[in-house]
């Protein structure tokens, strides 16, 4: 009977005896670098020196017991791995990549590189640097751990649900706050999307990216002499830059954007709700719902106002408004004091649900319970459609109106690296519907639906006519704005990618990048300088000289209020991010050197006619001019100068 032999698992436990061997009891295979429990092996190395050259039973193909035939492909694979290990020209990192390619059956990338050129280099860099360690694919909705490793949000949450609290790649401890509420890294999302769309730059003209920051605006909010408070507490809205009516449904198209001629793009961000209002994405700067009870709702804002909300990115459960005491000129109140009803703004959402109107959605950084909220400011996330609405008993004990929003936009969401927009998807299972009342579902066909022929979302029915006038005034600085946009679109791919990897403190390209548990990226020296001179704990001594327990100091992230004091005690450089930045910088330097060499050659060629003229003066008495040092032609037959001839003449003069 064959004796079973198994290695140690990812947690260091022997898969045979279920115990964790000590370091002296562990043998590591020189071929596959897998740890084995020496006590559970049938054959051990004879000497201490032979342990360095020891191969596991899987790699040595040593069969204990009955003689079993070995498949030829396995022998070829092991021979190929041994050849890689014996190649001294490869680094340890390159050997690991080669082993992974052999085991996974990945074909050589050289053929793709020859076929696609620079696009292949960018794609290869992307695949090598940002693979999820679980699914071995590009991370979907990437989450970056404090140790600098990237995973899909779904894979990471599954890993956490299994009770694991360590990184799957390096086994470092994952902070409890990040395990319970992981944050999507927007810089990685932006980088992956730009890398996927970089092929457009190689063969075509400039392209407008859909994840842009709107930082420079010609007009902003203002305050009057009547303002009682400073800042934006009593501020007035600035100019509305788009020419849509206030009751416009659906996305804001380019024809209604005279400043930029691009419309409001998915992923576009603003500093706050006041700036968001100026671009028409969501007009109310306090209320979370924009709409009319007999007409429909145009937009909603997810800003953490109701703890009943559930955000799953492509779909979310939204809580209606009302049921809170706002007497005494209060703008908001967190406590529920009565039941919500389908009236006013809640009825507007129900009208949009019954008609199938698209509803614009903006997310605010104040939504702390969502993994899809932006790092800061307010972000436009596209249009959603309300599929169902109902009422249920909320967390605070009163009835609340609930709405199921499902994304239906032609542009990809800001947290995904897809190149296309949404496709029709089945509705998720909602457990709270079992105890819900007043359930309303759409009975007629939706006005905004997916067209199978055009593969896009569009108005299947005529959009509702506006009941308010449209502002069609053209701004004075239209030409300046368009010129600025064209200049931004002409930036090269690598410059765009490098610009996305800027430190949030020094605003320069990151050196030794680190990623905090709250998904913010900084240079390691910049982050250390911010907290230089601060201690992690404060020693306390009472008046009598007795030493008290040390108190932990709170160190807030420079970009958000989260405490990162534990993270600062052992800063880990994000190696994957640093490799990508260095690769991009090296490629950019190579391109600039090539451009410099070509420009020097052009300058030399431009100067050569002067040398020819000098030679002509010297040989003016001769009736022949040498060309290429071989053939001879008379002055009367001298052809027009070519670069080849000019270089030859200059060489003859020397």
- Tell which phi-psi region holds residue 339, choosing left (phi > 0), alpha (psi between -120 and 50) or beta: beta
What DSSP letter does each residue of 140-161 carry, written as one string? SSEEE-TTS-EEEHHHHHHHHH
Q: Which two tokens stand for residue 359?
A: 């509803």
Picking from 565, 547, 548, 546, the residue whose alpha carbon sits closest to that of residue 556 is: 565
pLDDT mean for each 10 residues of the chain (654 residues):
71 84 86 83 79 78 41 65 84 81 59 45 63 83 87 90 88 86 84 65 36 43 68 73 88 88 91 89 91 94 89 94 80 83 94 96 91 92 96 92 96 88 92 92 93 92 78 50 55 63 85 87 89 82 76 86 85 84 76 57 48 40 39 40 38 40
* 3-state secondary structure at position 112: helix
* 3-state secondary structure at position 236: strand
* 3-state secondary structure at position 450: strand
Q: Contact at 8 Å (CB) between 15 and 9?
A: yes
Dihedral angle computed from the Cα positions of residues 417, 139, 515 and 158, in that order, rounded to the nearest 10 degrees:
130
pLDDT of 126 reads 61
Q: What one-character DSSP code corresponds to residue 622?
A: -
Q: Residues 6 or more apart from 209 whose CB is under 8 A from it?
A: 193, 194, 197, 496
Q: Is the pTM of this model over 0.85?
A: no
Q: How far is CA 513 from CA 82, 292, 362, 517, in A?
A: 35, 48, 30, 13
By CB atoms closer than 10 A (0-12, 13-18, 19+), residue 642 is exposed
Indicate the pairing of strand 437-441 with strand 296-302: unpaired
């Amino acid at each position: 009977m064959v004796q079973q032999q198994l290695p140690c698992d990812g947690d260091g436990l022997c898969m045979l005896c279920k115990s964790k061997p000590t370091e002296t009891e562990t043998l590591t295979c020189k071929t596959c670098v897998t740890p084995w429990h020496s006590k559970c092996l049938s054959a051990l190395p004879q000497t201490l020196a032979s342990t360095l050259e020891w191969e596991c039973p899987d790699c040595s193909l040593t069969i204990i017991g009955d003689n079993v035939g070995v498949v030829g492909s396995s022998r070829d694979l092991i021979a190929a791995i041994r050849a890689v290990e014996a190649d001294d020209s490869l680094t340890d990192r390159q050997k690991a990549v080669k082993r992974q390619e052999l085991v996974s059956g990945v074909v050589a990338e050289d053929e793709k590189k020859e076929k696609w050129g620079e696009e292949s280099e960018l794609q290869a860099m992307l695949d090598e640097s940002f693979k999820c360690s679980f699914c071995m694919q590009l991370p979907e909705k990437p989450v970056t751990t404090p140790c600098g490793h990237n995973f899909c949000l779904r894979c990471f949450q599954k890993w956490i649900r299994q009770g694991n609290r360590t990184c799957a790649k390096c086994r470092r401890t994952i902070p409890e706050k990040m395990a319970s509420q992981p944050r999507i890294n927007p810089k990685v999302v932006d980088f992956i999307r730009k890398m996927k769309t970089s092929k457009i730059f190689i063969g075509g003209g400039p392209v407008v990216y859909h994840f842009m920051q709107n930082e420079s605006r010609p007009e902003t909010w203002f305050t009057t002499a009547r303002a009682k408070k400073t800042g934006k507490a009593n501020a007035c809205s600035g100019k509305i830059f788009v020419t849509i009516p206030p009751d416009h449904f659906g996305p804001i198209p380019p024809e209604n954007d005279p400043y930029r001629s691009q419309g409001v793009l998915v992923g576009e961000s603003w500093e706050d709700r006041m700036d968001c209002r100026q671009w028409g994405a969501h007009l109310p700067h306090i209320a979370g719902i924009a709409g009319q009870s007999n007409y429909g709702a145009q937009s909603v804002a997810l800003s953490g106002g109701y703890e009943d909300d559930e955000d799953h990115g492509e779909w979310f459960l939204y809580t209606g408004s009302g049921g809170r005491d706002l007497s005494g000129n209060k703008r908001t109140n967190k406590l529920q004091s009565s039941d919500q009803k389908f009236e006013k703004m809640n009825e507007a959402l129900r009208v949009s649900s019954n008609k199938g109107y698209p509803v614009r959605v903006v997310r605010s950084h104040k939504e702390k319970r969502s993994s899809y909220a932006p790092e800061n400011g307010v972000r436009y996330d596209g249009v959603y459609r309300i599929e169902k609405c109902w009422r249920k008993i909320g967390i605070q004990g009163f009835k609340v109106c609930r709405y199921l929003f499902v994304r239906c936009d032609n542009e990809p969401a800001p947290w995904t690296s897809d190149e296309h927009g949404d496709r029709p998807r089945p509705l998720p299972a909602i457990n709270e519907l079992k105890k819900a009342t007043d359930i309303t579902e759409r009975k007629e066909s939706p006005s905004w639906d997916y067209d199978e022929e055009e593969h896009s979302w569009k108005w299947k029915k005529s959009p509702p006519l506006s009941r308010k006038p449209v502002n069609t005034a053209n701004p004075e600085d239209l030409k300046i704005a368009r010129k600025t946009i064209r200049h931004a679109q002409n930036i090269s791919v690598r410059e765009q990618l490098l610009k996305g990897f800027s430190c949030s403190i020094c605003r320069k390209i990151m050196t030794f990048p680190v990623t905090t548990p709250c998904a913010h990226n900084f240079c390691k020296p910049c982050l250390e300088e911010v907290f230089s001179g601060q201690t992690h704990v404060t020693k306390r001594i009472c008046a009598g000289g007795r030493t008290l327990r040390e108190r932990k100091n709170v160190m807030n992230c420079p970009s958000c209020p989260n405490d990162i004091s534990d993270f600062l005690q052992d800063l880990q450089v994000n190696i994957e991010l640093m490799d990508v930045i260095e690769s991009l910088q090296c490629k950019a330097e190579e391109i600039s050197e090539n451009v410099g060499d070509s420009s020097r050659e052009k300058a030399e060629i431009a100067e050569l006619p002067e040398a020819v003229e000098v030679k002509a003066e010297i040989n003016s008495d001769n009736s022949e001019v040498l060309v290429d040092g071989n053939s001879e032609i008379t002055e009367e037959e001298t052809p027009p100068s070519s670069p080849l001839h000019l270089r030859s003449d200059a060489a003859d003069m020397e």
